[in-house]
Amino acid sequence: MLLSKINEPNDLKKYSVEQLTVLSSEIRQFLIEKLSVTGGHLASNLGVVELTIALHYCYNSPVDKFIFDVGHQAYVHKILTGRMDKFDTLRKHNGMCGFVKRCESEHDVWEAGHSSTSLSAAMGMALARDLKGENNKVVAIIGDGSLTGGMAFEALNHIGHEKKDLMVILNDNEMSIAPNVGAMHNYLSKIRSDKNYLRAKDEIEQLLKKIPAIGGKLAKTAERLKDSLKYMVVSGVLFEELGFKYLGPVDGHDIHGLIEAFKQANNVGGPVLVHVLTTKGKGYSPAEEDSHKWHGISPYKIESGQVLKAVGNPMYTEVFGKTLIELAEQDKRIVAVTPAMPGGSGLVKFAERFPDRMIDVGIAEQHAATMCAAMAMEGMKPVYAVYSTFMQRAYDQIVHDICRHNANVMFAIDRAGFVGADGETHHGVYDIAFMRHIPNIVLMMPKDENELRHMMKTALEYNDGPIAYRYPRINVPGVPLDEVLTPIPIGSWEKVREGEGFAIIAVGPMVQVAEEAAEILKREGVSASVVNARFIKPLDHTMLLNLAREGNKIVVLEEASQAGSLGSAVLEFYAEQGISGVDVSLLGIPDRFIEHGSIKEQLDEVGLTAESVVREIKKFRSEHQFTYGKKVKPS
């Protein structure tokens, strides 16, 4: 096997193009076998095998910088840079990350889990290179989906303006172009990037301009002729107008063609864009037939493509999707909006039932937020279905366009809390902190699927501004569902367990953890109340005042950043009320990023467990014992 002899990128340079083609088949087989056990991003990586091989063959990483947009398509890059033996630990706790990770390898120069950052990063590295007087290559690899992000266009505009030497590879795995058009593009690319052609063109133009009276006119005529031909036959006109030299399209599965394209690109001064056509899932028929399903996949059977999923209750996402259909049947004002995640957000069936009321804006979270604000102002009921981690990309629009206008937008915030194997770039643990302080917004989180359904009804009936319900990436508890949905009074909490002397205020899935802790304490003779803080904003002031008057020592338990979230809100409330005789301990996610692994491992790592709550309550029982976290001490 050729693959077993690859320990670093330079090993590729010993092989012929024919051998590299064999190597690509070996890599595909390796990925199919390894990911059948670990799961991961299969389709996108199968699509960039030849492209990644050609890059490492033509350039010298890590001196030359490869910047992978999002980074989930860098498995082949990891294989070629000495990490093949780590694939058994892919996306596992303390194992290899599923995205590019700087601490893993010197070849990983840029980390990302969100899209559309690669071009800005490439510009930054090109600027730094030039300021330091170095001459390495900078290459950004971005997919056609990521190119819909507004940040990518901002970067294209700046790069084209500055004329920096860097290369953008547009990995186009959706567009279909007829062979004859592609052949014409390749031919034009070769001519237009040839050094002799470029030099001759410049010399002729300069010569024409020197001819008195008519030279300038002839030069302008020649330039107009060149531009008119370009507009007729070249699909890369947009990039040319932005200041890039456009090359392509190139067959992304033809290593020889890719190598030739990169050689042509090296002959071009300034920014160049190489348009590469690839097929997601290439070489594995189940992934080719349904690249969306196989984008991020659980373990599977190689022969049949059957996904091995544990049998259990549905995910919160599924409950959301079904309930939204029910509500939309009753209210024609409901419109679902998603930034490129209809499947992940549970909206596929909604789209089938209400195609005119389902809007996928692509990777454009900012645009989606402002659009929702305007729709709400026109009397519609937009539901902005978005992952917590992606919603943070639209922070300014949430402040400026939604909350400031007090627009009646409903946020369905998926993946709230830890997300497991996707790790630190995807955890939904910051949205409470960055939304709670914005005026006009209401924030909710249910303890179970039945409460989620009632919260969705609450949001629909609410007309006084923006309102959000957030839910985790886990299976629902499996409680009975009420047939009739009724709004929950805004700002009301519920005490799900009575106790004396101690109270655990919990939100979302942590309510179950709190109840487990209370049961353990009960067996040890300690009585603790459990409060479901289902409204994070506004708080239940009456409940908080009662807990203080009863002399409870309080633990606030939340699967969110300890700084700025529910626990901070409780402390702020008691401070505002001038109440200083209540001990309050916070259990949340500490001030650091939590890496990939299972959700259980992540919860264990930060102490969001029943055992941790029990320990915290026991600390309260010891006089003068300080507890973990912040505390309001008796006066």
Structure tokens at 240: 């040319």
Beta bridge partners of 385: 412
3-state secondary structure of 83: helix
d(CA 22, CA 19): 5
- H-only helix segments in 466-592: 510-523, 541-549, 566-576
Mark whether 280 is an active-site residue: yes
Residue of 357, 393, 453, 457 marked active site = 393
Half-sphere exposure of residue 157: CA atoms within 13 angstroms, side-chain side: 5
Burial 381-395 (b: 16+ CB within 10 A, else e): bbbbbbbbbbbbbbb
Structure tokens at 387: 């992952």
Side chain identity at 623, as an amino acid letter? E
Structure tokens at 256: 């020889």
d(CA 81, CA 61): 9
d(CA 315, CA 319): 7
Long-range contacts of 540-548 (CB under 8 A, 24+ apart): 540/491, 540/492, 540/493, 541/491, 541/573, 543/493, 543/495, 544/570, 544/573, 544/574, 545/577, 547/503, 547/505, 547/582, 548/574, 548/579, 548/581, 548/582
| Beta strands 272-277 and 410-414, pairing class | unpaired
Helix (H) or strand (E) holding 138: strand 138-143
Structure tokens at 615: 């320990």
Q: What is the DSSP string of 617-633?
A: HHHHHSTT---SS----
Mark whether 393 is an active-site residue: yes
Residue of 50, 260, 365, 558 marked active site = 365
Residue of 78, 164, 280, 453 marked active site = 280
d(CA 153, CA 393): 15
d(CA 356, CA 365): 20
By annotation, the residues acting in catalysis are: 280, 365, 393
